[in-house]
Structure 1
Amino acid sequence: MSTVHLNTSDAAELAEMLTFLGDWLANDPHTLSASLEKFLGGTGYTTDTLHNDLARFAFLLTGEGAAHLFGGEEQ
């Protein structure tokens, strides 16, 4: 696996976009679940899984958002 180096501001901007998408998914889960299922052809990949993946990627970029991943309150 190759190493990728991101500028701190680029990593923060990417994390913001991932968080935005995760918040959007959480805001309208019923409509978006049907759309995702149709798009993926019923693979079993859900909006909950996608939301968790987006949160994990954002956390890996910034170290923020641990409450969503691990439960509890944000530090």
Structure 2
Amino acid sequence: MSQTTSLHERDHEPVPDPSTLMGLLHVLRKAHIELVGEEVAHKRFSQVSSRGDARQYINELMPHLAKEREKRRQQRHSGGKK
């Protein structure tokens, strides 16, 4: 059994509340709201109940958040011009 297989075996487990993972998910949800609005972000977040769902949610959001972060950095360095 590989390490990857053993990690994915826990995907069916519920996300513990409270936990560091749940805290991270709430921070990501807040950032997601800033990007797409509360209704869309809440709808997507409500689909997260297991560790596997959390992994998928994180993998979906991180590229969008990284792109937005880079966009904001560029704006700061250019004097705030769009």
Q: With structure 2 as the length reference, what TM-score do the two structures score?
A: 0.28
User: TM-score, with normalisation over the residues of structure 1?
Assistant: 0.30
Rg (Cα) greater in structure: 2
